[in-house]
Structure 1
């Protein structure tokens, strides 16, 4: 049974602090800020480009300072009056100078916190296996940790492996590889041992570190309860996501460079980000200790396991896929939720066919047609295509079009409508239908009616959305995409014409 998706029990409350968060435009930083605010702390955010923060849901609740992490003067100014600094900066780059850049910015921050008299420095780094040659990025993270620990300020370094949560680059790479490839030819690193950790638990540790006693000055390994290799992670992801078991065929000739290009072709994760992730996967990244529990006890329900963390990340995205992307401004309810500021390639594949049409008809008239769609009235476009799709659905055990409507004029949330189900209804404004035909994935159809005050007319927005499951889901979308102009384009035009005829 999945653990409840609620914040894990925090450490005992201490004094409210002023916290400076660097790297707030990144995955962990963007999710840490609201956790600190929820704990009652004052938050200052440092960014070279403050305008990149304005779309974050918490932007109005923090102090934003402009500072370049490589510029000692601006970093020093950002640290003035701060109790705790969270250092969440790391270059995901393959260039020859990224280690020098990491070294320089860490040195600048070490000097700034020392000169400003900051009370605590917290850094999220990577696990460092003994007796192995570290990848360049793990080596750089270890060097940054050493620089910060040498700052003279009480410092905690949390060392983690793969972080599981929607938007995490490591998790997105796992998601796309597993969902898109039922048969995979993979490098040898799929057998390296890994101890992943849920983003919820990472944030819980980060927040609690702000209140640790001053004498705590060290590294801690943090990880979830499961240890596995990458191949097992893909198989367990597939099981949670409802996909068939994947066939994995390791091939020793794959170098990190070839692997990263292969990942770049198969997934939307940029090759420049995939390269350092792939290089680090060749190392064994398993916790050597769990001494953080002496200061931050495990929650009563335990740390979140891999399957539960994946389930939350996958299900949250699918449940919120339509509403999040319709408004582009949803506030996540849990750290595993997607953020509107995550990269475009994060959150799994989502195909969208969106169409807009304006009309002189009243909003009330357009809404009457929208709410009366389906059943005996049909779908206002290419009736033969709808009948064929209904018969195909029945042939594979689906409901087809035989359910019709409960009422010819009104719909309510939960009503069956042909092979759709009414998922959301805002009278006069929004109708969202969820597909119940047999599909390799999930699908929605939305209508949004907007009154245009300037012209007195109406704008009708129509959106078809598909969240594919597995390779068959992607193939299905692209197979039927050629018909969208006839089906969805014709439907939009037909609804508008019907509204105009009705007066």
Structure 2
């Protein structure tokens, strides 16, 4: 292991720092006194995180072994928090290759310990493809020369987690539901704050343990009972749940994709994990890492904390915090480094009788509950179509009602570039035969007002992509023209005292993690 400077705090590397757990682990490690290096495939995705100025950021990819050398240099403890959540056959290969590359690079760098977060699974049973891949990653890390601590958790309860969002939307939208019989299997949920407690504690374990530890909360119940617990916390009547033996994970994940904001591709591995009972087989870690102050968080308390954060619109990270593999890494089609292909576009500008600050406030607040200032029925219909084919649709909403950050999911878009007060660039993550962007910009006008710049860019893939563009082209005047007019009107109608100044501050960390 690399020797730190005298009296220097240990240096830890957090991979997947733009993801749900990684984004919350970084401030927890800082509060515990560690020096932190945050790793992401695209470093700019971390530029608006509240802890950005307190950490070292490194850009690296476990699928590119050469990029790991600088990331792991001088690291004492490395957290491996990377999972391939895509479909098809390639995700297991990516998981396998990434784990091997990271284990080998950690050994060459002299890392003292690797900490990995996987999932609880029963021994001796055939696992789903995703669960088997998670297990294989843990086995690869344990087989390496660097001592590895593998923590295995079941359902993680916290604001913004995929599990919590599935539970929340099912309970709130379906007073009566037909569910698969395996919804009666036992699970041992754990609050995200307790997961973070054990992850931080794993870096401080004495010696060099090289094994797995199961981590779970104090309550064991079924997912059906978990839905009832949410209903109680939310003040809803008891849900009626009818279980039938015919709903396969594939059908159930499609149903979840329609009813909740979590797309089918993300829902399916979570649903498949419920086929098996997920209960801790041992509690050895509790003897090595003292329980958090006040003890482990009960299911009821975990739901209350998470629900409060959701209602206050104060969600630190969400299941969609991490960007999908391969996006949004590609440059705009018009960038100098791009070559080949056809680029379609729709560009408009409009003078606005409002200050640049007032106009920017409208742009940064777009989407989510405020909508897109244009042909509401058309946006809703397109969102429903996207959900039917497994896309995110419009249900991801916003992380914060007023503020955006690079990497944020915004309905079916992803914030790719943000120059606060000047430019917002969004990349489409809806299912389209090509790549699409939407740019919204603000320019100060000579008369003290402002100019709204709006540009839609589309790079079609093949003939189908071109046909798609021309099929929707007749609606551009309604969609993009209406959007521009209504954004301008919203900025002009805002009373002077309600036009908030351009916000250059970032969110601050809060005491409770929910």
Match of 1:138 in 2: 131
Structure 1, residues 382-433: CA drift from partner, whole Å, max 9, x if none?
xxxxxxxxxxxxxxxxxxxxxxxxxxxxxxxxxxxxxxxxxxxxxxxxxxxx
Match of 2:211 in 1: 218
Contact 1:159 1:221 in 2 (8 A): yes
1:220-369 alignment runs, 5 A limit: 220-319=213-312, 321=313, 337=316, 342=321
Shift of 1:318: 0.9
Match of 1:196 in 2: 189
Contact 1:187 1:255 in 2 (8 A): yes
Match of 1:354 in 2: none
Match of 2:146 in 1: 153
Q: Distance in 1 between matches of 2:248 and 2:241?
A: 17
1:426-441 alignment runs, 5 A limit: none
Q: Distance in 1 between matches of 2:445 and 2:304?
A: 44
Shift of 1:358: 6.9
Structure 1, residues 288-309: CA drift from partner, whole Å, max 9, x if none?
1111111111134110011100
User: Which stretches in structure 1 are left out of the alignment for 5+ residues?
Assistant: 1-13, 325-331, 345-356, 364-451, 460-488
Assess, with a 3 A threshold, how the Cα gap between structure 1 residues 39 and 453 changes in structure 2: closer, same or farther: farther
TM-score, normalised with respect to structure 2: 0.62
Assess, with a 3 A threshold, how the Cα gap between structure 1 residues 228 and 497 changes in structure 2: closer, same or farther: closer
Match of 1:405 in 2: none
**Is residue 16 of structure 2 the alignment partner of residue 16 of structure 1?**
no
Structure 1, residues 87-144: CA drift from partner, whole Å, max 9, x if none?
0011112211211211111111110111111011100011121243222222111111
Assess, with a 3 A threshold, how the Cα gap between structure 1 residues 15 and 94 changes in structure 2: closer, same or farther: same
Match of 1:108 in 2: 101
Structure 1, residues 20-46: CA drift from partner, whole Å, max 9, x if none?
111111110010011111222111122
Q: Distance in 1 between matches of 2:35 and 2:107?
A: 21
1:387-402 alignment runs, 5 A limit: none
Secondary structure of the 1:242 match is coil
User: Which stretches in structure 2 are left out of the alignment for 5+ residues?
Assistant: 1-6, 324-350, 358-443, 452-485, 497-514
Match of 1:95 in 2: 88
Contact 1:29 1:88 in 2 (8 A): yes
Secondary structure of the 1:212 match is coil
Match of 1:77 in 2: 70
Contact 1:55 1:341 in 2 (8 A): no
Q: Distance in 1 between matches of 2:495 and 2:236?
A: 42
TM-score, normalised with respect to structure 1: 0.63
Secondary structure of the 2:78 match is strand
Structure 1, residues 311-357: CA drift from partner, whole Å, max 9, x if none?
001112212x2xx5xxxxxxx6xxxx55698489xxxxxxxxxxxx9
**Is residue 152 of structure 2 the alignment partner of residue 184 of structure 1?**
no
Query: Between Structure 1 and Structure 2, whose CA radius of gyration is higher?
Result: 1
Assess, with a 3 A threshold, how the Cα gap between structure 1 residues 318 and 358 changes in structure 2: closer, same or farther: farther
Q: Distance in 1 between matches of 2:207 and 2:27?
A: 24
For the aligned residue pairs, the C-alpha RMSD in angstroms reads 3.5
Q: Distance in 1 between matches of 2:494 and 2:178?
A: 52
Q: Distance in 2 between matches of 1:243 and 1:83?
A: 48
Structure 1, residues 417-457: CA drift from partner, whole Å, max 9, x if none?
xxxxxxxxxxxxxxxxxxxxxxxxxxxxxxxxxxx997567
Assess, with a 3 A threshold, how the Cα gap between structure 1 residues 228 and 340 changes in structure 2: closer, same or farther: closer
Assess, with a 3 A threshold, how the Cα gap between structure 1 residues 46 and 245 changes in structure 2: closer, same or farther: same
Secondary structure of the 1:103 match is helix
Match of 1:172 in 2: 165
Contact 1:23 1:88 in 2 (8 A): yes
Structure 1, residues 47-90: CA drift from partner, whole Å, max 9, x if none?
22112222222222221222111121111331111111000011
Q: Distance in 2 between matches of 1:343 and 1:219?
A: 26
Shift of 1:215: 2.7
Shift of 1:458: 11
Q: Aligned residue pairs: how many?
A: 350
Match of 1:121 in 2: 114
